[in-house]
Amino acid sequence: MRAEHLTIELRARSPWEAVELGTALVRRHARAVWASWLWVAVPVFVLVNAAAWALSMPLASCLALWWIKPLLDRVPLFVISRGVFGQTPTTRQTLAAQLRWGWGPMLGYLTWRRFSPARALYLPIELLEGERGPRLRQRRAVLGATVYGNAMVLALVCLAFQLAVALACVALVFLFVPVDYMPEAARAGLALLRDPPLWAQLGLNTAFWIGVGSIEPFFVGAGFGLYLNRRTQIEAWDVEIAFRRLRQRLQAASTGFVLVLCLAGLAGPSRAQAPAPGQAPSPGVEQVFGQARVDDHAFRKAVDTAYDDPLIDRHRTDRYWQRRPQDAPEPIQRDAPDLSWLRGLQGVLAFIGEWGLWILLALVVIFVLASARHWWPWMRGVRAPRAVPSEATSSAIELPEVLPEDIATQARALWRDGHRRRALALLYRASVEAMTARAGVVLPPGATESQCLRASRRQPEDADRSLFARMVRVWQLAAYAQRLPDDADFEALVGDLQASYRWRA
C-alpha cells in the first residue's frame, strides 16, 4: 500500500465515524461512481426485465435484480479504492476492469454468502487483497471481530432506505393527481396492485432499481470505510505515515547539515588527528555533560498513562460465579460465627420461590369466588343483544341486468312490498341512464355519485339538472344514512321522474 499517496487523514476512528468516512468518499467521487454504475446497471436492468417478460414473470425481475447486487458492488468499490490514493479512474477504465477484476469471489456472494450482513466489510478483503482459503477466513475473523454488528446494522439501514426511495418514487405519481380525483386514483392504484398490467410492473421494477442505484454505492462505500478503519487500528497505518513524513523532513534537512560537516573538515583537518603519545585524550560525553540520569518514576508513569488508552490496552477481567461441587470439602474458617439458623430461612425462601406464584394464584381464585355475590349481578346485561340484520346489511341490492320497460310501476310495486331501498336503487339507476343519454356522456364502470353529478351538468335543461340532483340526494340519504323518504315524497319523486324522462305508464 502506498500510504504516502492517501488523500484522507488516517487515524483511529469509531465505527460510525468510519461509516461516515466511506460515504464521504462516495460523495467526493460521485461523478465517477454513478457514471460507471449507470453504464453497467442500465443494460442489466433491461436484460433481466426482458428475460422475466419472456418467462411471463415480470415481477420476478425485482428478486433477480436484488440477488445480483454483489456483481454491481464491484463498480463503486473499484472507483473509491483507487480514488482514495488520488488516482480516480475514468469510466472507460472502470468498465474495462469489470471484465477481469473481482470475479473469483462472486460465486460465493451469489450463493451461500448472499445473505451475509457484513458483505460490504468483507468485499474489500477478497477483491482488494485477493485472499483465499484459510488466510481469508483468518482475515475475515480479525477484521470483523469488533465491527460485525455495525456492518449488520449498516446493511439493515441501507435496505430500509432503498425501500423508502422506491416507495417515494411510487408516491410521486400521486402528487400529479388533482385532489378531486384522489379517491378514484387510490381505487385505481389498488386495482393495479391486484392485477397489474405490464406497464405497471415495469414502473414498479424501475422504482425499485432507482432505490438500489441511489443507496447501494453508499452501502459499499460505508463498508470500505469500516475496512480502512480496522486496518488502521490493527496495522497502525497512521503511525507508519507519520514516520514516513518525519523521514522526508529529516532527509530534506540533512543535506545542508552534511555540507556543513564537509566544509568544517576541509577547513581544519588537523583537529581530527589522533592525540600525541604523551597527550591526554579528549574528554568524552560523560566528562562534558556529566553522567546521564534517567527518571525511572516519570518513565513508569508515562508508560502507565499510555496503557490506559483503550485503543492500546486490550486486557479485561471477567468475574463469574461457579457452583461448588457437593463433595468439595468445607473451607476451614477460624472464629466464624454460627450461621446454622440460616438453613431454616433458606428452606422457607426456597419454598416461596418454587410455590409462591401458585399460592398467589390460588388466593386470587378463592377471593374471586368468595366475592362473586357482590360483582356477579353487575355482569348481567353486559353482553349486548344480538342485532337483527336489516335489509341494508343482510344482503346486497340485486337489480336485473336490463331495466324493465315500466320503471315507475315496478318501483311503486317494490315500495309497496317493503323493498324500499331496492325501489330507490332502481330509480337511481334508471335516472343515471336517462341522464347520460341526454348529456351525451359515457361514465366509467363503477362511477360514483359525484362523477354522475358532474356529468349531469352537461344536460341542456336546468330543470333536468335539478331533478337529477334531487334524485341523487334522496338516494345518498337512503343508502348511507338509512333515511328513507315517506310515501308522499316517494310518489312525488316518481311522478316527476316519469314526466321528465318520459317513462312508460
Domain ranges of the chain: 3-240, 397-501
pLDDT of 401: 62
Low-confidence stretches of the chain (pLDDT < 70) are 1-5, 193-195, 236-245, 247-249, 251-296, 299, 302-303, 306-316, 328, 330-340, 378-401, 504-505
pLDDT of 261: 60
pLDDT of 315: 65
Q: Can you read off the three cell numbers belonging to residue 64? A: 433477480
**Average model confidence (pLDDT) across the chain:** 78
120-131 per-residue burial string, b: 16 or more CB within 10 A, e: under 16: bbbbbbbbeeeb
pLDDT of 383: 55
pLDDT of 228: 86
162 and 212 Cβ atoms separated by less than 8 Å: yes
pLDDT in tens, 414-447: 888 888 888 888 888 888 888 888 888 888 877 8
pLDDT of 131: 75
Rounded to whole angstroms, the Cα distance separating 105 from 95 reads 18
Q: Can you read off the three cell numbers belonging to residue 347? A: 428452606
pLDDT of 310: 62
pLDDT of 222: 92
409 and 494 Cβ atoms separated by less than 8 Å: no
Q: In Å, how far are 181, 206, 345 from 357, measured between CA atoms?
A: 61, 58, 19
- DSSP conformation class of 280: P
CA-derived radius of gyration, the chain: 43
Rounded to whole angstroms, the Cα distance separating 412 from 110 reads 72
Side-chain-side CA neighbours of residue 16 (13 Å): 2
pLDDT of 10: 75
DSSP E strand stretches across 193-258: none
Count CB neighbours of 189 within 10 A.
14
